[in-house]
Amino acid sequence: MTRTLLTLFVVLMVSGARSLADEKAFSVGDLNHMKVIGELGVPLQTVHSVECRVVDMSFTRAKADDGRIAFQIVSVDGKSREEKHSIDIPHSPEGQKPKIGQVHHYLAYETVATGGYPTEAFEKIGEPSFATQGLHFRSKFVLLKTLTAQQAEQVSGRNGGQRP
């Protein structure tokens, strides 16, 4: 049952566009007893050495991505990511504006946030609705510290994917 709920949560988190009404329901409290895997391929709220490249998201051809830049995850704890996921660029600890193509190394963790508006809310208050995804989950990348390539290698080797 726990494995089923975890799989369901990950599918919902990644797809974002699926409606909760289409899936088996479970309580938010159930999540407190599960290990939830994020876009980095590791459990949420665990600290890791992450290598990422700044990419222009216009290649998706989605109107929302036109001109948007993001981090493409290259490796986590020195292990190359076969599936290249992109995560919105958070505020850098040094306040530097990233440039497309740059490679960065961070000590970081991933968490999630929810977004969207229930479509029935507009009906209930008698207001016209607008386009919305409804409830969905978004990865949030939290940068703790910028690392040099050498520091990232040391942290990855020392931790083996565990918290420093």
pLDDT tens string 51-99: 999 888 877 777 776 777 888 899 999 999 887 778 877 766 566 677 8
Contacts for 120 with CB less than 8 Å, ≥ 6 apart: none
Residue 71 lies in a domain: yes
User: Would 102 be classed as within a structural domain?
Assistant: yes
Residue 13 lies in a domain: no
Q: What is the pLDDT of residue 17?
A: 44
Amino acid at 6: L
Residue 88: the pLDDT is: 79
- At residue 101's C-alpha, the angle toward residues 98 and 103, to 5°, is 70
The amino acid at residue 54 is V
Does residue 11 form part of some domain? no
Q: Is residue 85 part of a domain?
A: yes
Residue 66 lies in a domain: yes
| CA dihedral (139, 143, 147, 152) positive or negative | negative
Torsional class of 126: left (φ above 0), alpha (ψ -120 to 50), beta (otherwise): left
Whether residue 83 lies inside any domain: the answer is yes
Cα 139 to Cα 135: distance, rounded to the nearest angstrom:
14
User: What is the reported pLDDT for 2?
Assistant: 44
The number of domains in the chain is 1
Is 19 inside any structural domain?
no
How far apart are the C-alpha atoms of 123 and 135, rounded to whole Å? 16
Print the domain residue range for 98: 37-159
